[in-house]
Amino acid sequence: MANVKRAERPLSPHLQIYRPQLTAITSILTRITGNGLIVGTILAVWWLLAAATSPAYFAVADAVVTSWFGDLVFTASAWALWYHYLAGLRHLYFDAGKGLDIPTAEKLGWACIIGSVILTLLTVLLVQ
């Protein structure tokens, strides 16, 4: 067999020039937040079931829920809930056939991200 010298090229040149679109990122975030809401729901249901089980078991669950871990999970769940809600409104707008051009879709994507952070901060401030 002949000795062929192959040019050294990158395996995936498109990955060097590809820039992820905001609409793709927000779509992926919608799926992640939808699944992530399950964690907060499981923690809340566990806390409620522990309250119905026994005082000792409730003390353990309450210690977890009121710890820094519980605060982190519920704050992340609040952000996920707000983001998922705003993304759902955005998709309703898209389903009406509006906002499908790229500049408007990107503005709506940023509105979902920034709006969810602001609404989460407001929620945390109002709950405390």
Compute the distance between CA of residue 91 and CA of residue 26 in angstroms, rounded to an integer.
11
Per the domain annotation, does 77 fall within a domain?
yes
Determine, yes or no, domain membership for 66: yes
65 belongs to a structural domain: yes
What's the confidence (pLDDT) of residue 14? 66
Q: CB atoms < 10 A from the CB of 86, how many?
A: 20
Does any domain span residue 8? no
Spacing of C-alpha 34 from chain mean position: 7
Residue 16 lies in a domain: no
Left if phi > 0, otherwise alpha if psi is -120 to 50, otherwise beta: which for 10? Answer: beta
- Quick: pLDDT tens for 10-37: 666 566 677 788 999 999 999 999 999 9
Number of domains in the chain: 1
Q: Is residue 70 part of a domain?
A: yes
What tokens appear for 56 in the block?
């000792």
Q: What is the DSSP secondary-structure string of the chain?
A: ---PPPP---S-THHHH----HHHHHHHHHHHHHHHHHHHHHHHHHHHHHHHH-HHHHHHHHHHHTSHHHHHHHHHHHHHHHHHHHHHHHHHHHHTT-S-SHHHHHHHHHHHHHHHHHHHHHHHHHH-
CATH no. for residue 67?
A: 1.20.1300.10
**What pTM did the predictor assign?**
0.83
Q: Is residue 2 part of a domain?
A: no
* Whole-number pLDDT of residue 20: 82
Domain with 48 in it: 22-127
Residue 4 lies in a domain: no
